[in-house]
């Protein structure tokens, strides 16, 4: 089967254009029970998954494990606030790229400093600021993909046509994969730096922020 390269590129760009983060105003301002939280997250994020009919966005086990391992503040009377949902969204986007310990490094300081804080900066304002860059990021990502796609079409030009089709697609996939690999290394370095910064003594309290080690198996998603 011959792959129409232009159709492939257009399909990729269209799928990227459909990616949307959860808008702050779409998150309920009332406290929710666990079933309501998982339903909300599924409804908002499943369309962006690889297999929407099969993939699990969030389960009760995940939520319980996140709370048990201090990734998520405990619920109040079995109910989860808007701030809980914001933390769950941060976890969702991080867990495909970072280890649980690294996610803890990033989110523990946010929970300690900004969870249920009314004045800004608080979790809502931080979320809005970070995800407000989404449109610009998507535009830059599309441009980068077009450039990498063009690069891949210049590879394996001297091989038979049936080999060229497979190898150019492999080249495109590997180029994107290498980009992810390099950025993951960069993320890990930045998390290490973030850890050093947040563990320094705070001048007003004289206390250093500490992390509770997390056992990776204990928070395995189910």
The predicted pLDDT at position 218 comes to 45
How many domains is the chain partitioned into structurally?
1
Cα 201 from Cα 208, distance rounded (Å)? 4
Strands 79-80 and 32-33, how do they pair?
Answer: antiparallel
- Domain range for 84: 5-219
What's phi and psi for 2, nearest 5 deg? Answer: -85, 135
Mean pLDDT computed over 25-48:
93
Bond from prior residue into 121 cis (ω within 30 degrees of 0): yes
For 102-146, the pLDDT digits (tens) are: 999 999 999 999 998 989 999 999 999 999 888 788 889 999 999
Residue 190 β-bridge partners = none
The predicted pLDDT at position 208 comes to 41
Report percent pLDDT > 70 for the chain: 88
- Token duo for residue 81: 């606030």
The answer to whether 105 and 219 have CB atoms below 8 angstroms apart is no
Cα 56 from Cα 45, distance rounded (Å)? 10
The predicted pLDDT at position 148 comes to 95
* Model confidence pTM above 0.85: no
The answer to whether 190 and 84 have CB atoms below 8 angstroms apart is no
Which residue would you say has higher pLDDT here, 221 or 107? 107
For 163-197, the pLDDT digits (tens) are: 999 999 999 999 999 999 999 999 999 999 999 99
Closest CA to 87 of 67, 60, 59, 57: 67
Quote the distance between the C-alpha of residue 208 and its chain's center.
28
């Amino acid at each position: 089967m011959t792959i129409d390269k232009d159709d492939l590129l257009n399909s990729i760009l269209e799928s990227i254009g459909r990616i949307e983060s959860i808008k702050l105003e779409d998150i309920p301002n009332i406290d929710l029970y666990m079933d309501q939280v998982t339903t909300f997250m599924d409804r908002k994020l499943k369309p962006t998954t690889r297999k929407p009919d099969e993939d699990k966005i969030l389960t009760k086990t995940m939520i319980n494990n996140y709370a048990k391992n201090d990734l998520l503040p405990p619920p109040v009377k079995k109910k989860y606030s808007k701030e809980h949902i914001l933390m769950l969204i941060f976890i969702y986007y991080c867990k495909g790229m970072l280890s649980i310990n690294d996610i803890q490094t990033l989110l523990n300081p946010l929970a300690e400093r900004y969870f249920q804080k009314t004045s800004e900066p608080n979790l809502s304002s931080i979320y809005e600021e970070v995800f407000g860059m989404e449109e610009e990021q998507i535009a830059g990502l599309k441009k980068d993909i077009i450039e990498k796609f063009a690069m891949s079409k210049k590879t394996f030009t001297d091989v038979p046509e049936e080999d060229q089709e497979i190898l150019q697609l492999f080249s495109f996939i590997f180029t994107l994969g290498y980009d992810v690999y390099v950025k993951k290394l960069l993320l890990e370095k930045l998390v290490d730096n973030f850890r050093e910064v947040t563990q320094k003594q705070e001048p007003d309290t004289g206390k250093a922020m500490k992390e509770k080690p997390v056992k990776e198996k204990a928070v395995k998603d189910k």
